[in-house]
């Protein structure tokens, strides 16, 4: 479900998606997916978004069904094939994995600098 409350307040207050993405330490494409309801927004991110928008979390929060909640597949037959998961979901999972890898590398470099 699209995050209509969040989008409405963001645009009314004049914030760009890039500014919001920066506020929650993600890239703009991932933020766009969050605003479209394709990727869930964590409780910590809701708090940061409310802070930057200077509103309460209740003003922007909307429940979002899990991206995978409407996808059915039989765990007993999972192989390395697609198993009927829509390709958009697989693409999003791969994007998220790549984002996590980048963040891990950034954190490793940060730790190396401190050592």
User: What would the two tokens of residue 102 be?
Assistant: 């980048």
How far is the C-alpha of 91 from the C-alpha of 85, rounded, in Å? Answer: 10
9-28 pLDDT, tens digit each: 999 999 999 999 999 999 99
pLDDT at 25: 92
Instruction: Return the CATH number of 1-66, one of 1.10.260.40, 3.40.50.300, 3.40.50.2300, 3.30.2010.30.
Output: 1.10.260.40
User: What would the two tokens of residue 100 be?
Assistant: 């996590």
**Higher per-residue confidence, 55 vs 98:** 55
User: What would the two tokens of residue 2 be?
Assistant: 């699209």
89-104 pLDDT, tens digit each: 878 888 899 899 889 9
Share of the chain above pLDDT 70, in %: 80
Q: pLDDT band for position 86 (50/70/90)?
A: confident
């Amino acid at each position: 479900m699209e995050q209509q409350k969040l989008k409405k307040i963001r645009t009314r207050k004049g914030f760009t998606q890039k500014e919001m993405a920066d506020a929650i330490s993600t890239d703009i494409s991932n933020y766009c997916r969050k605003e479209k309801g394709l990727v869930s927004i964590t409780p910590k991110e809701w708090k940061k978004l409310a802070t930057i928008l200077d509103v309460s979390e209740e003003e922007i929060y909307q429940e979002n069904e899990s991206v995978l909640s409407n996808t059915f597949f039989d765990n007993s037959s999972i192989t390395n094939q697609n198993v009927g998961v829509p390709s958009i979901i697989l693409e999003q999972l791969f994007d998220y994995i790549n984002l996590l890898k980048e963040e891990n590398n950034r954190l490793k470099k940060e730790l190396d600098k401190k050592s």
